[in-house]
Structure formats: structure tokens, C-alpha cells
Amino acid sequence: MFDALTDRLGGIFDGLTGRGALSEKDVTAALREIRVALLEADVALPVVKDFISKVKERAVGEEVIRSVKPGQQVIKIVHDGLVDMLGGPDAETRLRVDNPPSVIMMAGLQGSGKTTTTGKIAKRLADRDKKKVLLASLDVRRPAAMEQLAILADQAGENVKSLPIVEGQMPAEITRRALQAAKLGGYDILFLDTAGRTSIDEQMMAEASEIAKIAEPKETLLVADALTGQDAVETARRFHERLPLTGLVLTRMDGDSRGGAALSMRAVTGLPIKFLGTGEKLDGLDAFDAKRLAGRILGQGDIVSLVEKA
């Protein structure tokens, strides 16, 4: 796929005439290929369209730098545009977790990676920032969801504990019990891991928003799968409407998807991407880096090889 893009761009750029300034014709031809590349990377169409028109504005009329070909220059402008859209090179990814006990709520579709990510971030906060962390599962639906979180708490080390499981309690009740336990136990941070839900399940969305009202989380993270396709915009928009989201986490970045969903979700919500999940184990978590992700969405190989060809 990357090679195909390189070839396509290569062909187009060989024919580019722009000297002096990038012409509209040159830019349009190049951006048509970029559009296809972004769609193949699963960036949602409305986001692609918006992005392309912004980049076009920026590129047309730009003075051509003598040392590079106009095609490379367009790529550079596209790349910088992606970095900007993803939050800039110095995107703020720290969690707001002063004021103990700070609540961090995790939400998202079924199977997106909430429980695993809870364990990962908890371990990170315990190891790096010496925080005392309590994990509470509000998932009363998925079989063994609570056991799963308890096992992860054990794996995360001695500064991470899980709330004892009490059969038959509803999520709102568990939330109150967890808040109480976090205060009494002198915890710095309380994670609320919620059950997976589709964004159109009214009852479940109402439940999530009730939990947020009770717990007043400092951070509410939407956990989404990096393999997600065009639906990323719909999911992000609907969760953003119902919950006080403060950030995004994209899991399964260790896969071979281009990760366009990250751009889509960032674009519709304006929320910062805080972390990327990069494995099944608890150490598989990276702080977000806009430049790296932009390179991946675009196919970094292309840029590098184009520059090398020059």
C-alpha cells in the first residue's frame, strides 16, 4: 500500500510544473492522491475533505524552495498539516491528577481496550509518579469483567489495588462505594472502568452519564480501537455529546493499521490524544506523539523515500 502511494505520488510529482510558486493545478493533482491515501488509512471522509481543502489553501501560491521538488514541498505541507490537526508537535498529554483522590473514568465501545488500558495507565502512574491507585470495575454485564480488572491490578504492582467485588450491586452504587473507598484508603487516583456500550444504546449511555455526574471525573477518556474505520467520527461525536470527555486513547497501535481513526476522532471532538496502546501487556502504552502518528497515517516511508530520491 505504501509502495503504491509512493509510485502514484512519484508519477505525479515528476510531471509537476511548479517553479516560482506552487500552482493550483499542481497542488490539486497531488492532493487527489493524498485523499486516496488518507481514505485507505481509514481517515473519515468528512475529515479528509476538510483537511484537503485546508492544505490546498496553504499550499497554493507557496514559494517553491529551490533545493526541493514541488512534490516534496506539498508532502511537507501535508505532513505539517496532519501534525497540527493531531494537536501539534508539543501536544499536551499529561493527565490532570492532582487533588487526591482524582477520578479517571474510562469509556468506549465493547472490546475497545478499556479494561486493559486502565491497568496500563494505572501501572504507569504507580511506577513513574509513585501514585497510589485504586481500580473499580463498573462492568456488571460482561462475564468476568470484574475478575479481569482485579487480575490486572495484581499484575500492576503493589501500589495498584482493586475494589473488592460485591455481587449484585449496580454501577451507580459501585461508583459511590469506590469513591468512599478511595477517600478512606488515601488513594491518589481512582479509575472507573465502565462496561463497553454502543453509542446508540440509550439506557447504557444514560448510565454512563449518570456515573460521570456522581463521580465528577478529572479525566474521562474515550478508549477506541486504532483499527476502527469510518465509524470513528460517529462514535466519537456521540460519546462526546453524552460524557464530559477530556481525552482519547487509541489501542492496538501495534497492529498494521494506518491509524486514521485517531485523526478522525481528534477532528470531531477537538480532544487531545493522550496515549496509544501498543500491546496486550501492561507495559504496552506510549505517550502520544503527533509527528510519529502523522508519519504513520501518511506512510512515512513515502516521505523518506521521496526526499532520498531528490
Question: Using CB under 6 A as the criterion, which residues of the chain lie in contact with ligand GTP when the complex forms?
Answer: 108, 110-116, 139, 142, 145, 195-196, 198, 251-252, 254, 277-280, 284
Q: Which of residues 160-199 bind another protein (CB under 8 A)?
A: 198-199
**CB of 226 vs ligand GTP, minimal distance in Å:** 8
Cα 123 to Cα 125: distance, rounded to the nearest angstrom: 6
**CB of 115 vs another protein, minimal distance in Å:** 8
Q: Which does 23 bind (CB under 5 to 8 A by kind): Mg ion, ligand GTP, another protein, none?
A: none
CA atoms within 13 A on the CB side of 154: 7
- Using CB under 5 A as the binding criterion, the count of chain residues that bind Mg ion stands at 2
**CB of 196 vs ligand GTP, minimal distance in Å:** 2
Binding to Mg ion by residue 115, rule CB under 5 A? yes
- Residues facing residue 47 across a β-bridge: none
Pick the closer one to another protein by CB: 21 or 165.
165
Helix (H, G, I), strand (E, B) or coil at 105: strand
Which own/partner contact pairs does 205-213 have at CB distance under 8 Å and 24+ positions apart?
205/238, 205/242, 207/171, 207/172, 208/107, 208/242, 208/243, 209/242, 209/243, 210/172, 211/105, 211/138, 211/171, 211/172, 211/175, 212/105, 212/243, 212/244
Binding to another protein by residue 157, rule CB under 8 A? no
Q: What's the CA angle centered on 231, arms 295 and 300, to 5 degrees? A: 10
Closest residue to Mg ion, judged by C-beta, is 115
**CB of 193 vs ligand GTP, minimal distance in Å:** 7
Exactly one of 27, 52, 109, 222 binds another protein (CB under 8 A); that residue is: 109
**CB of 114 vs Mg ion, minimal distance in Å:** 5
Closest residue to ligand GTP, judged by C-beta, is 196
Q: Which does 166 bind (CB under 5 to 8 A by kind): another protein, ligand GTP, Mg ion, none?
A: none
**CB of 213 vs ligand GTP, minimal distance in Å:** 21
Q: Which residue, among 290, 310, 286, has the nearest Cα to 298 in the 3D structure? A: 290
Containing 55, the helix (H) or strand (E) segment is helix 45-59
Contact present, 297 and 79 (Cβ < 8 Å): no
Q: Which does 44 bind (CB under 5 to 8 A by kind): another protein, ligand GTP, Mg ion, none?
A: another protein
Q: Which does 274 bind (CB under 5 to 8 A by kind): ligand GTP, Mg ion, another protein, none?
A: none
**CB of 16 vs ligand GTP, minimal distance in Å:** 40
Cα 243 to Cα 240: distance, rounded to the nearest angstrom: 5
Environment class of 214 (CB within 10 Å of its CB; exposed 0-12, middle 13-18, buried 19+)? middle
Exactly one of 21, 144, 165, 287 binds another protein (CB under 8 A); that residue is: 144
Binding to another protein by residue 235, rule CB under 8 A? yes
Q: Which residue, among 292, 268, 264, has the nearest Cα to 278 in the 3D structure? A: 292
Query: At a CB cut-off of 8 Å and minimum separation 6, what does 109 contact?
Result: 196, 197, 198, 199, 224, 225, 235
Applying CB under 8 A, which residues contact another protein?
A: 36, 39-42, 44-46, 109-113, 119, 141-145, 147-148, 151-152, 155, 198-201, 225, 227-231, 234-235, 238, 252, 254-257, 260-261, 280
